[in-house]
Amino acid sequence: MSIYRLTRLLLAYALLALVVCSSARAEKATRHDARTDPLRGLRTLELMVLAPYLEKGPVALVEFADNSKNELPAINLATYVNASSAKIVELISDPRAYPEFMKTIDSVKLVSKHGATLVYDWSWKLSLFRLRGRNTMTLYTPPANRPNIGYRITIDSNAGDLGQGRVSMRIVPVAPNKSLLAISVRLDMRKANYVVREMAVASNSINRSANILLSCSTLLSLQQEVERRAGHVPRPEKAPDLAKPDLVIDKLLPLLGRGDLLLFDMHGAKLNQITVVGRINIGKVTVKDVMMNVHAFGSALVPGSYVKVVSYQDERADFDWGIDLPLVDVEGKMRIQQQGDIVAIDAISGALSGGRWRFDTTQLAKNSSVVVGWTSFDMKNSTWLLEYLISIDPNIGHGLTAAADIMVIRSLRTRAEKTAKRLSVKSIKTATVSSKKKSN
């Protein structure tokens, strides 16, 4: 379904990825298969924990994966939709209607239909590129005596220019005109066409980010269209200020063992802010030290960028950042400072101007902490390419923001772990030297 939508989304991110990502080409032997690896999704008890946050917008769990086995993470999203489950299923189960509300689809052709399963081909053309693929969709309806368990829909990407994988959806009634829509996605771009495959092989983070874009676009596009058809109009509301959400960390810990959380604060189709929550098995002091390292953490905010500190003042630093490659010359200035326990970063000029990032770290145990980051920035204020694509579909911008926040938390985790390991080695060496001096 929304795999079509990914065509433009993937192109947007693919071009961005060419700018900001390294070009390592060592492809590993695949031990996992995105077509058959299970999609666990968000379970009922987990959704109950997330229910308070769902009232403000979608939630996402970006799972961890075993890179040594070339495993790909599943991307799980859920949102409330102000429409009946039947209306949502009606929209999803007719792919021939997708071109009416998905701007990135040229055509959908029904190949065959057998009972609750249908096979269809899709295509999308942009300039000199044409992407094609074949999907199989299967609808599972609830028993007549148990309608509250909801519907399930699976979409298998059998072949095509965007690789192979699966999409699993659950549509569960919450009230007569309110439903829960949950989506799990795992698509392996390493089995796509040559251009997409080469980018996916270069970095697992590209594959993960493209999957985040796919799932975000799918969820938001379906939600917006079905609510439009149902006649739902959000009440006027003043955009809230950037603020740390009220989180119950203890209840979120089981989820944080599976992956990193994203909490969307939205009003209709407008994104107010995104909160990212991640557990790091390193103490709070080390994590905050990494955050205040301008070169390390500053470059993590814009992957692939260079950073140059221009001024220091107390616990504040201003730094220039930029990406300097042919056809893409992006630069800006940011300020990082400590505001009590919070690390605050503001884009004060240039690309991403007006963007704000806030991070707070909570100590869980001696060697464990939770980082909460709440952010507001517009990817449209970066490159002409993204400005063009996001102007066509704002959901591209929302997906890119979510993918960027996951990149930041994962980069922070990696840097904190390396720092802790380096400090541990240094401590052992110091203790060894001290012990030798005493023995002499």
3-state secondary structure (DSSP) of residue 10: helix
The stretches in the chain having pLDDT less than 50 are 1-30, 194, 201-202, 428-435
The pair phi, psi for residue 382, each rounded to 5°, is: -130, -75
Q: Which residues pair with 107 in a beta bridge?
A: 123
Tokens of 53: 């946050």
Question: Which pLDDT belongs to residue 20?
Answer: 42
- The answer to whether 207 and 219 have CB atoms below 8 angstroms apart is no
User: CA-to-CA distance for 110 and 95, rounded, in angstroms?
Assistant: 8
Question: Which pLDDT belongs to residue 42?
Answer: 95
pLDDT tens-digit map of 92-132: 999 998 888 877 678 999 999 999 999 999 887 765 567 78
What does the CA dihedral 21, 24, 25, 27 come to, rounded to 10 degrees?
-100
Q: Half-sphere exposure of residue 274, counting CA atoms within 13 Å on the CB side?
A: 26
User: CA-to-CA distance for 319 and 3, rounded, in angstroms?
Assistant: 39
Place of tokens 């028993």: 143
- The answer to whether 200 and 187 have CB atoms below 8 angstroms apart is no
Question: Which pLDDT belongs to residue 162?
Answer: 74
Question: Which pLDDT belongs to residue 126?
Answer: 61
- CA distances to 147, 192, 204, 251, 270 from 65, rounded to whole Å, are 34, 20, 10, 22, 31
Residue (of 372, 338, 333) closest to 355 by Cα position: 333
Question: Which pLDDT belongs to residue 193?
Answer: 58
Question: In percent, how much of the chain has pLDDT > 70?
Answer: 83
Residue (of 178, 179, 154) closest to 167 by Cα position: 154
Question: Which pLDDT belongs to residue 15?
Answer: 46
| Strand ranges, E, within 281-327 | 306-313, 316-325
pTM score, two decimals?
0.87
> Which residues contact residue 50 at a Cβ distance below 8 angstroms, ignoring those fewer than 6 apart?
42, 59, 78, 255
Tokens of 246: 């009220």
Question: Which pLDDT belongs to residue 328?
Answer: 58
User: CA-to-CA distance for 132 and 121, rounded, in angstroms?
Assistant: 7
Question: Which pLDDT belongs to residue 325?
Answer: 58
> Which residues contact residue 399 at a Cβ distance below 8 angstroms, ignoring those fewer than 6 apart?
9, 212, 213, 214, 216, 217
